[in-house]
Amino acid sequence: MAALISGFSKLTKTEKIDWLAQNFLQNTKEAKEILRTYWNSDEKLQQLHDDFIENTISNFYMPYGIAPNFMINGNHYTIPMAIEESSVVAAASLVAKFWSNKGGFTAKVINTVKVGQVHFMYQGSKADLERYFSAKKDELYRATKDITKNMEKRGGGILDIELRDITSHLENYYQLHVTFETVDSMGANFINSCLEAMANVFKNNEVEIVMSILSNYVPECLVKASVSCHVDDLHPTDGALFAKKMEQAVAIANVEPHRAVTHNKGVMNGIDAVVIATGNDFRAIEAGVHAYAAKSGKYKSLTKCQIKDDVFTFSIEIPLALGTVGGLTSTHPLSKLSLEILGNPSAKELMQIIAVAGLAQNYAALRALTTTGIQEGHMKMHLVNILNQLEADAEEKEKVTLAMKGKTVSYSGVVAALEKVRA
Protein backbone atom coordinates (compact mmCIF):
# COMPACT_ATOMS: atom_id res chain seq x y z
CA MET A 1 0.00 0.00 0.00
CA ALA A 2 1.27 3.45 -0.88
CA ALA A 3 2.37 5.82 1.85
CA LEU A 4 0.35 8.96 2.53
CA ILE A 5 1.25 11.74 0.12
CA SER A 6 1.35 15.48 0.82
CA GLY A 7 0.94 18.15 -1.83
CA PHE A 8 -0.70 15.75 -4.32
CA SER A 9 -2.95 18.46 -5.76
CA LYS A 10 0.11 20.53 -6.67
CA LEU A 11 1.56 17.78 -8.91
CA THR A 12 1.13 18.02 -12.66
CA LYS A 13 -1.30 15.64 -14.35
CA THR A 14 1.59 13.51 -15.61
CA GLU A 15 3.15 13.40 -12.14
CA LYS A 16 -0.19 12.31 -10.64
CA ILE A 17 -0.40 9.48 -13.17
CA ASP A 18 3.20 8.42 -12.48
CA TRP A 19 2.46 8.27 -8.74
CA LEU A 20 -0.76 6.30 -9.35
CA ALA A 21 0.95 3.83 -11.68
CA GLN A 22 3.90 3.31 -9.37
CA ASN A 23 1.76 2.61 -6.31
CA PHE A 24 -1.43 0.94 -7.54
CA LEU A 25 -1.16 -0.38 -11.10
CA GLN A 26 0.53 -3.55 -12.31
CA ASN A 27 1.01 -2.89 -16.02
CA THR A 28 2.13 0.71 -15.63
CA LYS A 29 2.93 1.30 -19.30
CA GLU A 30 -0.46 0.07 -20.50
CA ALA A 31 -2.31 1.92 -17.72
CA LYS A 32 -0.60 5.21 -18.54
CA GLU A 33 -1.41 4.73 -22.22
CA ILE A 34 -5.11 4.12 -21.46
CA LEU A 35 -5.32 7.28 -19.35
CA ARG A 36 -3.57 9.39 -21.99
CA THR A 37 -5.69 7.92 -24.79
CA TYR A 38 -8.73 9.56 -23.24
CA TRP A 39 -7.13 13.01 -23.10
CA ASN A 40 -8.62 15.42 -25.59
CA SER A 41 -6.24 16.39 -28.39
CA ASP A 42 -7.52 19.97 -28.13
CA GLU A 43 -5.48 21.35 -25.23
CA LYS A 44 -7.93 24.17 -24.53
CA LEU A 45 -10.86 21.76 -24.34
CA GLN A 46 -8.88 19.37 -22.15
CA GLN A 47 -8.00 22.19 -19.78
CA LEU A 48 -11.70 23.04 -19.53
CA HIS A 49 -12.43 19.47 -18.46
CA ASP A 50 -9.48 19.43 -16.07
CA ASP A 51 -10.93 22.48 -14.31
CA PHE A 52 -14.35 20.92 -13.66
CA ILE A 53 -13.06 18.86 -10.71
CA GLU A 54 -9.91 18.34 -8.65
CA ASN A 55 -6.96 15.97 -9.24
CA THR A 56 -7.98 15.25 -12.84
CA ILE A 57 -5.90 12.60 -14.60
CA SER A 58 -8.09 11.78 -17.62
CA ASN A 59 -11.64 11.83 -18.99
CA PHE A 60 -14.30 9.13 -18.60
CA TYR A 61 -16.45 8.92 -21.71
CA MET A 62 -20.10 7.88 -21.89
CA PRO A 63 -22.05 7.22 -25.09
CA TYR A 64 -24.00 10.25 -26.29
CA GLY A 65 -27.00 9.45 -28.45
CA ILE A 66 -30.23 10.98 -29.67
CA ALA A 67 -33.84 9.80 -29.56
CA PRO A 68 -35.88 11.38 -32.38
CA ASN A 69 -39.63 11.66 -33.06
CA PHE A 70 -40.81 13.04 -29.73
CA MET A 71 -43.91 15.20 -29.98
CA ILE A 72 -44.52 17.25 -26.83
CA ASN A 73 -47.37 19.77 -26.63
CA GLY A 74 -47.54 19.76 -30.42
CA ASN A 75 -43.82 20.44 -30.93
CA HIS A 76 -41.30 17.98 -32.35
CA TYR A 77 -38.13 17.21 -30.41
CA THR A 78 -35.02 15.11 -30.82
CA ILE A 79 -33.79 14.36 -27.31
CA PRO A 80 -30.06 13.96 -26.51
CA MET A 81 -29.21 11.22 -24.02
CA ALA A 82 -25.91 10.38 -22.28
CA ILE A 83 -26.08 6.85 -20.90
CA GLU A 84 -24.10 3.59 -20.98
CA GLU A 85 -27.03 1.16 -20.64
CA SER A 86 -28.11 -0.86 -23.66
CA SER A 87 -31.60 -0.43 -25.14
CA VAL A 88 -32.50 2.84 -23.38
CA VAL A 89 -32.10 5.15 -26.38
CA ALA A 90 -33.67 2.62 -28.75
CA ALA A 91 -36.66 2.13 -26.43
CA ALA A 92 -37.19 5.88 -26.04
CA SER A 93 -37.06 6.37 -29.81
CA LEU A 94 -39.51 3.54 -30.43
CA VAL A 95 -42.03 4.84 -27.88
CA ALA A 96 -41.66 8.40 -29.15
CA LYS A 97 -42.59 7.32 -32.67
CA PHE A 98 -45.46 5.16 -31.41
CA TRP A 99 -47.08 8.05 -29.51
CA SER A 100 -46.31 10.70 -32.15
CA ASN A 101 -48.99 9.06 -34.30
CA LYS A 102 -51.50 9.40 -31.46
CA GLY A 103 -51.16 13.08 -30.64
CA GLY A 104 -47.90 12.81 -28.77
CA PHE A 105 -47.18 13.71 -25.15
CA THR A 106 -48.68 16.56 -23.17
CA ALA A 107 -46.71 18.19 -20.37
CA LYS A 108 -47.35 20.98 -17.89
CA VAL A 109 -45.27 22.63 -15.19
CA ILE A 110 -47.28 22.77 -11.97
CA ASN A 111 -44.86 24.86 -9.90
CA THR A 112 -41.18 25.84 -9.73
CA VAL A 113 -40.67 26.57 -6.04
CA LYS A 114 -37.27 25.57 -4.59
CA VAL A 115 -36.28 25.28 -0.95
CA GLY A 116 -33.38 26.22 1.31
CA GLN A 117 -33.06 25.99 5.10
CA VAL A 118 -31.10 27.54 7.94
CA HIS A 119 -30.89 24.83 10.60
CA PHE A 120 -30.35 25.99 14.18
CA MET A 121 -30.65 25.02 17.83
CA TYR A 122 -32.48 27.13 20.40
CA GLN A 123 -33.16 26.25 24.05
CA GLY A 124 -35.22 29.26 25.12
CA SER A 125 -38.90 30.10 25.03
CA LYS A 126 -40.65 29.44 21.73
CA ALA A 127 -42.71 32.60 22.16
CA ASP A 128 -39.52 34.65 22.54
CA LEU A 129 -38.09 33.02 19.39
CA GLU A 130 -41.23 33.83 17.43
CA ARG A 131 -41.05 37.47 18.51
CA TYR A 132 -37.34 37.58 17.61
CA PHE A 133 -38.08 36.12 14.15
CA SER A 134 -40.88 38.63 13.51
CA ALA A 135 -38.58 41.50 14.45
CA LYS A 136 -35.77 40.17 12.26
CA LYS A 137 -37.73 39.07 9.17
CA ASP A 138 -37.38 42.32 7.22
CA GLU A 139 -33.69 42.42 8.07
CA LEU A 140 -33.30 38.90 6.67
CA TYR A 141 -34.63 40.11 3.32
CA ARG A 142 -32.37 43.19 3.42
CA ALA A 143 -29.32 41.04 4.14
CA THR A 144 -29.78 39.29 0.77
CA LYS A 145 -30.56 42.40 -1.28
CA ASP A 146 -27.23 42.50 -3.12
CA ILE A 147 -27.47 38.78 -3.87
CA THR A 148 -31.06 38.79 -5.12
CA LYS A 149 -31.18 41.99 -7.21
CA ASN A 150 -30.10 40.35 -10.49
CA MET A 151 -32.31 37.33 -9.90
CA GLU A 152 -35.26 39.64 -9.20
CA LYS A 153 -34.68 41.40 -12.53
CA ARG A 154 -35.17 38.01 -14.24
CA GLY A 155 -38.40 37.39 -12.31
CA GLY A 156 -37.00 35.31 -9.44
CA GLY A 157 -35.88 35.81 -5.87
CA ILE A 158 -36.98 34.90 -2.34
CA LEU A 159 -40.66 33.97 -2.10
CA ASP A 160 -41.05 33.54 1.68
CA ILE A 161 -39.16 32.98 4.93
CA GLU A 162 -40.87 30.82 7.55
CA LEU A 163 -39.87 29.83 11.10
CA ARG A 164 -40.44 26.13 11.66
CA ASP A 165 -40.50 24.26 14.98
CA ILE A 166 -39.09 20.72 14.61
CA THR A 167 -38.56 20.11 18.34
CA SER A 168 -41.07 17.24 18.38
CA HIS A 169 -38.57 15.25 16.27
CA LEU A 170 -35.29 16.62 17.61
CA GLU A 171 -34.79 18.51 20.88
CA ASN A 172 -34.16 22.26 20.47
CA TYR A 173 -34.20 22.02 16.66
CA TYR A 174 -35.74 24.85 14.63
CA GLN A 175 -35.23 26.09 11.08
CA LEU A 176 -35.73 29.02 8.78
CA HIS A 177 -37.54 27.43 5.84
CA VAL A 178 -37.00 29.64 2.79
CA THR A 179 -38.66 29.26 -0.62
CA PHE A 180 -37.13 30.56 -3.84
CA GLU A 181 -37.83 31.11 -7.54
CA THR A 182 -34.64 30.80 -9.59
CA VAL A 183 -36.14 31.09 -13.11
CA ASP A 184 -33.81 29.41 -15.66
CA SER A 185 -30.93 28.62 -13.30
CA MET A 186 -30.81 25.61 -11.00
CA GLY A 187 -29.86 28.18 -8.36
CA ALA A 188 -27.76 26.19 -5.87
CA ASN A 189 -25.08 28.86 -5.39
CA PHE A 190 -27.70 31.62 -5.31
CA ILE A 191 -29.80 29.84 -2.68
CA ASN A 192 -26.83 28.90 -0.48
CA SER A 193 -25.46 32.46 -0.59
CA CYS A 194 -28.84 33.85 0.50
CA LEU A 195 -29.10 31.34 3.35
CA GLU A 196 -25.64 32.12 4.68
CA ALA A 197 -26.39 35.85 4.63
CA MET A 198 -29.61 35.21 6.59
CA ALA A 199 -27.80 32.99 9.11
CA ASN A 200 -25.27 35.74 9.84
CA VAL A 201 -28.08 38.16 10.63
CA PHE A 202 -30.24 35.71 12.58
CA LYS A 203 -27.65 34.16 14.90
CA ASN A 204 -27.17 35.48 18.45
CA ASN A 205 -26.08 34.15 21.82
CA GLU A 206 -29.14 31.89 22.04
CA VAL A 207 -29.55 30.93 18.36
CA GLU A 208 -26.87 28.38 17.50
CA ILE A 209 -26.60 28.01 13.71
CA VAL A 210 -25.80 24.43 12.68
CA MET A 211 -25.77 24.82 8.89
CA SER A 212 -27.32 26.69 5.97
CA ILE A 213 -28.00 24.71 2.78
CA LEU A 214 -30.47 24.26 -0.06
CA SER A 215 -32.67 21.16 -0.15
CA ASN A 216 -32.75 18.77 -3.10
CA TYR A 217 -36.22 17.69 -2.00
CA VAL A 218 -38.44 20.00 -4.03
CA PRO A 219 -42.00 18.64 -3.84
CA GLU A 220 -43.35 21.99 -5.06
CA CYS A 221 -41.10 22.13 -8.15
CA LEU A 222 -43.38 19.82 -10.10
CA VAL A 223 -44.06 18.86 -13.69
CA LYS A 224 -46.67 16.49 -15.10
CA ALA A 225 -46.56 14.57 -18.40
CA SER A 226 -49.01 12.15 -19.97
CA VAL A 227 -50.12 10.23 -23.06
CA SER A 228 -53.58 8.98 -23.86
CA CYS A 229 -55.46 7.03 -26.52
CA HIS A 230 -58.29 4.53 -27.02
CA VAL A 231 -57.34 1.06 -25.78
CA ASP A 232 -57.84 -0.41 -29.26
CA ASP A 233 -54.97 1.73 -30.55
CA LEU A 234 -52.47 0.36 -28.02
CA HIS A 235 -51.90 -3.07 -29.52
CA PRO A 236 -52.52 -4.64 -32.94
CA THR A 237 -54.35 -7.71 -31.58
CA ASP A 238 -55.76 -7.03 -28.10
CA GLY A 239 -55.41 -3.45 -26.87
CA ALA A 240 -57.81 -3.94 -23.97
CA LEU A 241 -55.77 -6.84 -22.56
CA PHE A 242 -52.51 -4.94 -23.02
CA ALA A 243 -53.96 -1.86 -21.25
CA LYS A 244 -55.14 -4.03 -18.37
CA LYS A 245 -51.69 -5.59 -17.94
CA MET A 246 -50.07 -2.16 -17.96
CA GLU A 247 -52.54 -1.02 -15.29
CA GLN A 248 -51.77 -4.10 -13.21
CA ALA A 249 -48.01 -3.55 -13.57
CA VAL A 250 -48.30 -0.03 -12.13
CA ALA A 251 -50.63 -1.29 -9.38
CA ILE A 252 -48.02 -3.86 -8.37
CA ALA A 253 -45.36 -1.12 -8.17
CA ASN A 254 -47.66 0.81 -5.84
CA VAL A 255 -47.95 -2.02 -3.30
CA GLU A 256 -44.57 -3.80 -3.62
CA PRO A 257 -41.50 -1.64 -2.88
CA HIS A 258 -39.12 -4.25 -4.32
CA ARG A 259 -40.86 -3.83 -7.68
CA ALA A 260 -41.35 -0.07 -7.24
CA VAL A 261 -37.61 0.56 -6.98
CA THR A 262 -36.91 -1.25 -10.27
CA HIS A 263 -39.99 0.31 -11.85
CA ASN A 264 -38.75 3.80 -10.95
CA LYS A 265 -35.20 2.95 -12.00
CA GLY A 266 -36.69 2.55 -15.49
CA VAL A 267 -38.14 6.05 -15.22
CA MET A 268 -34.74 7.39 -14.18
CA ASN A 269 -33.04 5.69 -17.14
CA GLY A 270 -34.75 8.26 -19.32
CA ILE A 271 -34.52 11.18 -16.92
CA ASP A 272 -30.87 10.80 -15.90
CA ALA A 273 -29.73 10.40 -19.50
CA VAL A 274 -31.15 13.80 -20.47
CA VAL A 275 -30.17 15.45 -17.19
CA ILE A 276 -26.54 14.40 -17.77
CA ALA A 277 -26.61 15.40 -21.44
CA THR A 278 -27.81 18.90 -20.53
CA GLY A 279 -25.23 19.40 -17.78
CA ASN A 280 -27.64 19.23 -14.85
CA ASP A 281 -27.09 17.49 -11.50
CA PHE A 282 -28.45 13.95 -11.78
CA ARG A 283 -27.55 13.09 -8.15
CA ALA A 284 -29.77 15.92 -6.90
CA ILE A 285 -32.57 14.86 -9.24
CA GLU A 286 -32.30 11.21 -8.15
CA ALA A 287 -32.39 12.07 -4.43
CA GLY A 288 -35.36 14.40 -4.79
CA VAL A 289 -37.34 12.07 -7.05
CA HIS A 290 -36.97 9.02 -4.81
CA ALA A 291 -37.92 11.05 -1.73
CA TYR A 292 -41.04 12.15 -3.62
CA ALA A 293 -41.84 8.52 -4.48
CA ALA A 294 -41.90 7.81 -0.73
CA LYS A 295 -43.83 10.92 0.35
CA SER A 296 -46.83 8.84 1.46
CA GLY A 297 -44.62 6.92 3.89
CA LYS A 298 -44.30 3.99 1.48
CA TYR A 299 -42.12 3.89 -1.63
CA LYS A 300 -44.39 3.76 -4.72
CA SER A 301 -44.51 4.07 -8.48
CA LEU A 302 -43.75 7.48 -9.99
CA THR A 303 -46.07 6.76 -12.91
CA LYS A 304 -49.84 6.29 -12.98
CA CYS A 305 -52.07 4.28 -15.29
CA GLN A 306 -55.81 4.73 -15.77
CA ILE A 307 -58.40 3.09 -18.01
CA LYS A 308 -61.70 4.97 -18.15
CA ASP A 309 -64.41 4.58 -20.80
CA ASP A 310 -61.95 2.55 -22.91
CA VAL A 311 -59.42 5.40 -22.86
CA PHE A 312 -55.93 4.52 -21.66
CA THR A 313 -53.92 7.25 -19.90
CA PHE A 314 -50.33 6.89 -18.74
CA SER A 315 -48.86 9.77 -16.71
CA ILE A 316 -46.14 10.96 -14.37
CA GLU A 317 -45.91 13.77 -11.82
CA ILE A 318 -42.36 14.40 -10.71
CA PRO A 319 -40.18 17.04 -9.00
CA LEU A 320 -37.39 18.36 -11.24
CA ALA A 321 -35.14 21.26 -10.21
CA LEU A 322 -33.28 22.09 -13.42
CA GLY A 323 -31.32 24.88 -15.01
CA THR A 324 -30.56 26.00 -18.56
CA VAL A 325 -28.13 28.78 -17.63
CA GLY A 326 -25.11 28.74 -15.33
CA GLY A 327 -22.93 25.88 -14.14
CA LEU A 328 -22.07 23.07 -16.54
CA THR A 329 -24.98 24.01 -18.82
CA SER A 330 -23.03 27.12 -19.84
CA THR A 331 -19.48 25.70 -19.87
CA HIS A 332 -19.54 22.11 -21.16
CA PRO A 333 -19.58 22.16 -25.00
CA LEU A 334 -21.80 19.06 -25.28
CA SER A 335 -24.21 20.38 -22.68
CA LYS A 336 -24.60 23.59 -24.65
CA LEU A 337 -25.05 21.56 -27.84
CA SER A 338 -27.70 19.40 -26.15
CA LEU A 339 -29.69 22.48 -25.22
CA GLU A 340 -29.35 23.76 -28.78
CA ILE A 341 -30.67 20.42 -30.12
CA LEU A 342 -33.68 20.89 -27.82
CA GLY A 343 -34.26 24.41 -29.18
CA ASN A 344 -32.59 26.25 -26.27
CA PRO A 345 -35.50 25.62 -23.89
CA SER A 346 -36.29 27.56 -20.74
CA ALA A 347 -35.97 25.69 -17.46
CA LYS A 348 -39.74 25.07 -17.49
CA GLU A 349 -39.61 23.66 -21.02
CA LEU A 350 -36.68 21.43 -20.06
CA MET A 351 -38.68 20.14 -17.08
CA GLN A 352 -41.42 19.07 -19.49
CA ILE A 353 -39.01 17.42 -21.94
CA ILE A 354 -37.23 15.45 -19.21
CA ALA A 355 -40.48 14.34 -17.56
CA VAL A 356 -41.61 13.02 -20.95
CA ALA A 357 -38.31 11.14 -21.38
CA GLY A 358 -38.89 9.42 -18.04
CA LEU A 359 -42.49 8.57 -18.87
CA ALA A 360 -41.53 7.19 -22.29
CA GLN A 361 -38.80 5.02 -20.81
CA ASN A 362 -41.14 3.58 -18.20
CA TYR A 363 -43.80 2.88 -20.83
CA ALA A 364 -41.20 1.07 -22.95
CA ALA A 365 -40.05 -1.06 -20.00
CA LEU A 366 -43.59 -2.02 -18.96
CA ARG A 367 -44.58 -2.81 -22.54
CA ALA A 368 -41.63 -5.16 -22.85
CA LEU A 369 -42.21 -6.76 -19.45
CA THR A 370 -45.90 -7.42 -20.06
CA THR A 371 -45.46 -8.75 -23.61
CA THR A 372 -42.17 -10.19 -24.94
CA GLY A 373 -40.16 -9.81 -21.73
CA ILE A 374 -37.38 -7.36 -20.95
CA GLN A 375 -34.51 -9.60 -22.05
CA GLU A 376 -35.15 -9.63 -25.80
CA GLY A 377 -33.79 -6.14 -26.43
CA HIS A 378 -31.11 -6.41 -23.77
CA MET A 379 -29.77 -9.66 -25.17
CA LYS A 380 -29.24 -8.13 -28.62
CA MET A 381 -26.98 -5.49 -27.13
CA HIS A 382 -25.38 -8.03 -24.79
CA LEU A 383 -24.40 -10.07 -27.84
CA VAL A 384 -22.86 -7.01 -29.49
CA ASN A 385 -20.88 -6.21 -26.33
CA ILE A 386 -19.50 -9.75 -26.08
CA LEU A 387 -18.51 -9.77 -29.75
CA ASN A 388 -16.72 -6.47 -29.27
CA GLN A 389 -14.84 -7.91 -26.29
CA LEU A 390 -13.80 -10.86 -28.46
CA GLU A 391 -12.68 -8.45 -31.22
CA ALA A 392 -14.93 -10.01 -33.85
CA ASP A 393 -14.92 -8.33 -37.25
CA ALA A 394 -18.07 -7.28 -39.14
CA GLU A 395 -18.43 -10.58 -41.06
CA GLU A 396 -17.93 -12.64 -37.90
CA LYS A 397 -20.49 -10.55 -36.03
CA GLU A 398 -23.07 -11.13 -38.75
CA LYS A 399 -22.52 -14.92 -38.78
CA VAL A 400 -22.51 -15.28 -34.99
CA THR A 401 -25.68 -13.16 -34.68
CA LEU A 402 -27.40 -15.47 -37.15
CA ALA A 403 -26.13 -18.55 -35.30
CA MET A 404 -27.37 -17.22 -31.94
CA LYS A 405 -30.85 -16.35 -33.22
CA GLY A 406 -33.47 -17.86 -30.92
CA LYS A 407 -30.86 -18.93 -28.38
CA THR A 408 -30.09 -17.57 -24.91
CA VAL A 409 -27.07 -15.29 -25.13
CA SER A 410 -24.23 -16.27 -22.80
CA TYR A 411 -20.52 -15.53 -22.93
CA SER A 412 -19.55 -19.18 -23.33
CA GLY A 413 -22.18 -19.68 -26.02
CA VAL A 414 -20.95 -16.71 -28.02
CA VAL A 415 -17.32 -17.85 -27.66
CA ALA A 416 -18.28 -21.30 -28.98
CA ALA A 417 -20.20 -19.81 -31.92
CA LEU A 418 -17.36 -17.47 -32.80
CA GLU A 419 -14.79 -20.26 -32.62
CA LYS A 420 -16.95 -22.32 -34.99
CA VAL A 421 -17.20 -19.38 -37.44
CA ARG A 422 -13.43 -18.79 -37.31
CA ALA A 423 -12.75 -22.51 -37.80
Residue of 30, 42, 85, 340 marked catalytic: 85
How far is 239 from 367, CA to CA, in rounded Å? 12
- Please tell me the predicted confidence (pLDDT) of residue 389: 86
Confidence of residue 373 (pLDDT cuts 50, 70, 90): low
Mean pLDDT of 8-13: 95
Determine whether 265 is an active site residue. Answer: yes
Is-same-fold flag (64-110+220-373; 114-215)? Answer: no
Q: For the residues 103-110, what does the mean pLDDT come to?
A: 98
Lowest mean pLDDT among 30-34, 119-123, 374-378: 374-378
Domain definitions of the chain by residue range: 8-50, 64-110+220-373, 114-215, 377-422
- Of 84, 86, 67, give the one whose Cα is nearest residue 76: 67
* Active-site hit among 281, 300, 304, 349: 281
To the nearest 10°, report the CA torsion of 111, 114, 119, 125.
-40
Flag whether pLDDT at 374 surpasses 50: no
Concatenating the DSSP letter of every residue in 227-245 gives: EEEEGGGT-SS-HHHHHHH
**Percentage of the residues of the chain whose pLDDT score is greater than 70:** 97
Is there a catalytic annotation at residue 378?
Answer: yes
Residue 371 — pLDDT band, cuts 50, 70, 90? Answer: confident
pLDDT for the residue 26:
86
pLDDT tier at 312, thresholds 50, 70, 90: very high
The residue among 293 and 385 whose pLDDT is bigger is 293
Q: Span 76-97, mean pLDDT?
A: 96
Q: Which of 348, 378, 380, 382 is catalytic?
A: 378
> 64-110+220-373: which CATH topology?
3.90.770
Rounded-to-integer distance, Cα 119 and Cα 129, Å: 14
Torsion-angle region of residue 279: left (phi > 0), alpha (psi -120 to 50) or beta? left
Question: pLDDT of 21-51, one tens digit each?
Answer: 989 988 889 999 999 999 999 999 999 999 9
Across residues 65-94, what is the average pLDDT?
97
What is the rounded CA–CA span in Å between residue 393 and residue 381?
Answer: 16
Which pLDDT score, from 0 to 100, does residue 379 have? Answer: 64
Residue 291 confidence (pLDDT) above 60: yes
pLDDT digits (tens, 9 = 90+) for 122-131: 999 999 999 9
- Check residue 343 and give its pLDDT: 97
Kindly report the CATH class assigned to 114-215. alpha beta
Per-residue DSSP letters for 78-133?
EEEEE--STTHHHHHHHHHHHHHTTT-BEEEE----EEEEEEEE--S-HHHHHHHH
> Which residue in the list 265, 290, 332, 397 is annotated as catalytic?
265
The model's pTM is 0.88
Beta strands in 146-246 (DSSP E): 157-165, 173-181, 208-215, 222-230
pLDDT for position 83: 97
Query: Whole-angstrom Cα distance, residue 207 to residue 333?
Result: 45
Q: What does the pLDDT look like over 224-252, one tens digit per residue?
A: 999 999 999 998 889 999 999 999 999 99
Average pLDDT over residues 15-20: 94
